[in-house]
Structure 1
Amino acid sequence: MADNVVLQVEGLCFFYPESGVLNQWSVALPAGLALVRGDESSGKTTLLRLLAGKLTAQAGCITLQGVSLSDAPTAYAQKVFWVDPRSDDLDKLTARAWLDGLPASCPLWDAAALAAHTEGFSLNEHLDKPLYALSTGSKRKVLMAGALASGAPLTLIDEPVAGLDKPSFQYLARALTSVAAQPGRLVVVAHYEKLAGVPWGTVVDLART
């Protein structure tokens, strides 16, 4: 793996019983911001779940900072942050309880960054509410605050702007710009198009299959 490559994917194959998604798919991503772009059903979320180790590919290799997902899944998982925003698994937790529990599983957790993101996303009034009681936008802001503060070498964010108001969108652009400068860290965002004001280092287009 080249020195500047954080994530190496080689020959990735994944298909559902009803359709294929990825066929011999490969990419090498350096530190910074990467956008996975595609239409509905192009496989954006599936790819993020594969990179997170939550789905198992039929073939191919995923290596993060020299750690192979297939050979060392536990070590790999310690380097990744992923929460599916569509899942209701966390809904009974308050935002504060979920965020307070993250440092235990995030070796590079940044408490100062969390404080900044909480303020930037205007989340203080929502911290003691259960996630199920939050709007779509507020829940995603909580999840993104945790993701951005995690410090994880591979941070995966799916459809970040769903339900976001304009000030939160503007803050997200600033926060992603800041994260892009962190050495050795790769943030992969899945969305339909480029987000204005974000310095994307890499754009990966997925074609619908």
Structure 2
Amino acid sequence: MVQADGLRFGYPGLVLADAASHVWPAGLCLIQGDEATGKSSWLKTLAGQLKPQAGALSYLFAADGRLPAHELYWQDPRQILSEAQSRVLVADWVAQQQSLYPHWSAPEMARHVQGFGLEVHWHKPLLALSSGSLRKLWMAAGWASSAALTLLDEPLAALDLASERYVLQALAQMADGLKDPARPRSVIVAHWDAMQGIGWDDVLALAPR
């Protein structure tokens, strides 16, 4: 689904990857590492948000190898919402997401809204949601997007125990469908451990710093 060849990326004075190569298949993929090993930066690089200083990324699900916007779902959970964004109602934000993704699944969204208990927030502005509820909303939309490449950063962070269990259940249930030959997809998760009960199709383990 995605191939990295000789990537070098990082920030001024901090190299996080140098001559790094990896291939991500269809299915559930994990980028695993401790704090400050570059997990989030890997996701930002895969999303095209952080430009590599060397090397190349190829998106094998696209005919020209480039990343189509409607085949990527990436919501940085640490990104601070602008004032305008924070005033958007949850229902309107979901409608906006649905318009961006041609393979959007309304039944999947409804299932995850119920699983996360997001119904009570439906007519609230985004600024009224806690960080945990926002993470749940980002994840539900990512899974409903049916994008070829879905990136999730620390999906269990700031969640209550019931929601953590739902994340693990939802990931386990979607695993087989991601490898549908008619439309393969890759869900790449960055997390500090292997998340109990998940059968990963691929694991990229980052060396401690």
1:155 to 150, 153, 157: 150
Residue range with higher mean Cα deviation, 102-111 or 147-156:
102-111
**TM-score normalised by the chain length of structure 1:** 0.90
Percent identity over the alignment? 40
2:35 to 31, 34, 40: 40
Paired position in structure 1 for 2:79: 87
**Secondary structure, in 3 states, of the residue corresponding to 1:55?**
coil
Q: How many Å separate the matches in 2 of 1:15 and 1:166?
A: 34
**Secondary structure, in 3 states, of the residue corresponding to 2:68?**
helix
- AA partner of residue 205 (structure 1): A
Are positions 1:187 and 2:184 aligned together? Answer: no
Q: How many Å separate the matches in 2 of 1:13 and 1:99?
A: 35
Q: How many Å separate the matches in 2 of 1:63 and 1:77?
A: 14
Deviation at 1:103, TM superposition (A): 1.8
**Secondary structure, in 3 states, of the residue corresponding to 2:9?**
strand
Paired position in structure 2 for 1:144: 139
Deviation at 1:15, TM superposition (A): 2.5
Paired position in structure 1 for 2:105: 110
Deviation at 1:153, TM superposition (A): 0.7
Are positions 1:165 and 2:160 aligned together? Answer: yes
**Secondary structure, in 3 states, of the residue corresponding to 1:39?**
coil
Question: Structure 1 runs of 4+ off > 3 angstroms?
Answer: none
Paired position in structure 2 for 1:131: 126
- 1:75-127 Cα distance to aligned partner (Å, 9 max, x none): 53221110101112343222221111112211211111000000001100011
Unaligned runs of 5+ in 2: none
Residue range with higher mean Cα deviation, 177-186 or 154-163:
177-186
Change (3 A) 1:208 1:166: same
Deviation at 1:7, TM superposition (A): 1.3
Q: How many Å separate the matches in 2 of 1:179 and 1:8?
A: 22
- 1:46-95 Cα distance to aligned partner (Å, 9 max, x none): 11011011111111111123438xx765x532211101011123432222
Paired position in structure 2 for 1:3: none
Paired position in structure 2 for 1:26: 21
Unaligned runs of 5+ in 1: 1-5
Change (3 A) 1:91 1:198: farther
- 1:115-155 Cα distance to aligned partner (Å, 9 max, x none): 00000011000112222221121110001000111101110
1:61 to 35, 56, 64: 56
Contact 1:136 1:162 in 2 (8 A): no
- AA partner of residue 70 (structure 2): Q
Q: How many Å separate the matches in 2 of 1:40 and 1:135?
A: 23
Deviation at 1:18, TM superposition (A): 1.7
- AA partner of residue 13 (structure 1): R
Query: Once superposed, what is the RMSD of the aligned Cα atoms?
Result: 1.6
- AA partner of residue 200 (structure 1): W
- AA partner of residue 84 (structure 1): D
1:99 to 90, 94, 97: 94
Deviation at 1:34, TM superposition (A): 0.7
Are positions 1:13 and 2:8 aligned together? Answer: yes
